[in-house]
Amino acid sequence: MIDTHCHLLDGIDDGPQEREETLEMCRIAREDGIRGIVATPHSLDGRFTNGPERIRDLVAGLNAELTAMGMDLTVFPGMEARITADLLQSLDTGRLLPLNGGRYVLMEFHPFHIPAGFHNLVRRFLDAGFGIILTHPEKNFAVQSDPAYVFRLVTCFEPWDLLVQITADSLTGQNGFRAARTAKTLLRCGLVHLMATDAHSPTTRPPRLANAVTRAARLVGEDRARLLVRDIPDAVLTNKPFPPEWEPKEPKRWWKIF
Ligand SMILES: [Fe+2]
């Protein structure tokens, strides 16, 4: 499996602060069956500013250390960008680091609302040659109230231009009932393309995917569940072709309360 969202690098965001914590996260991930991790420190969110060069250097150092330890795990560079008014400026000034330097930029919403004009922002990124991975929309309060927003968003663009990534512990219930219900709804409707850990530490949010893959397999079958953690991450990181058939459905409106 490949984890496409993990705060793995020590001392640069709210993830691990010590090297030993980072290495323990690597051990946990490896035992869970993860063979690749994209290190995605917070960046450009007003709190943490981690530039592409620094992240690449830190990832290279960590990979060298893992190799020296004999650990069969590869770390790829990336970042998690908060959607703010400055994001387009960051695009223009080369401060964004897509996952593994490829096409896809990992973006998160503010937890409470969907940013106005997000469609237009996505269009600007697409025009500049990027694709978007929208991470953990199931944790956003506005999406929890209207999961069909994700359908309307995804179907605005060509297939595989905008990918949706849920967090493994949303599916296993650690992020609360509403996040779990929204994650399941999106998954059943073919509106989830990736599942990742968004791990921050070896203890409170460890990098494990296997339990969530089992849950996902119960909902959408083993083949589809594997695509979320193996084939699609591989395509994102190495520009391989995506699965040929992927038809999203509009979530039913059972969640409406008025
Ligand atoms: Fe994150």
Count the Cβ atoms, other than its own, within 10 Å of residue 69: 11
- How far, in Å, from the CA of 166 to the mean position of ligand 1? 11
Burial 24-55 (b: 16+ CB within 10 A, else e): bbbebbbebebebbbbbbbbbbeebebbbebb
What is the band of 258 on the pLDDT scale with cuts at 50, 70, 90? very low
Distance between CA atoms of 146 and 150, rounded to whole angstroms? 8
Which of 56-60, 88-92, 237-241 comes out lowest in average pLDDT?
A: 88-92
Q: pLDDT-derived band of residue 12, with 50, 70 and 90 as boundaries?
A: very high
Q: Which helix (H) or strand (E) holds 196?
A: strand 194-196
pTM for the whole structure: 0.95
pLDDT of residue 82: 86
What's the rounded Cα separation, in Å, for the pair 200 and 5?
10
Pairing of strands 80-82, 104-108: parallel
pLDDT of residue 179: 97
Provide the pLDDT for residue 256: 55
Q: Are 165 and 106 in contact (CB under 8 A)?
A: yes
Cα 40 to averaged position of ligand 1 atoms, centre (Å): 7
CA of 48 to the centre of ligand 1 (A): 12
Ligand 1 centroid, distance to 236 Cα (angstroms): 17
Structural domains in the chain? 2-255 (3.20.20.140)
- How many Å lie between the centroid of ligand 1 and the Cα of residue 218? 26
At residue 162, the 3 state secondary structure works out as strand
Question: Ligand 1 mean position to 122 CA, how many Å?
Answer: 19
* Tens of pLDDT, residues 85-135: 788 888 888 899 999 999 999 999 888 888 888 999 999 999 999 999 999
Rounded to the nearest whole angstrom, what is the distance from the C-alpha of residue 188 to the centroid of ligand 1? 23
For 43: left if phi > 0, alpha if psi spans -120 to 50, otherwise beta; the answer is: beta
Q: Spell out the residues 6+ positions from residue 167 whose beta carbon is closer than 8 angstroms to its own.
A: 5, 135, 136, 138, 139, 175, 179, 183, 195, 196, 197, 198
Q: 257 alpha carbon to ligand 1 midpoint, in Å?
A: 30
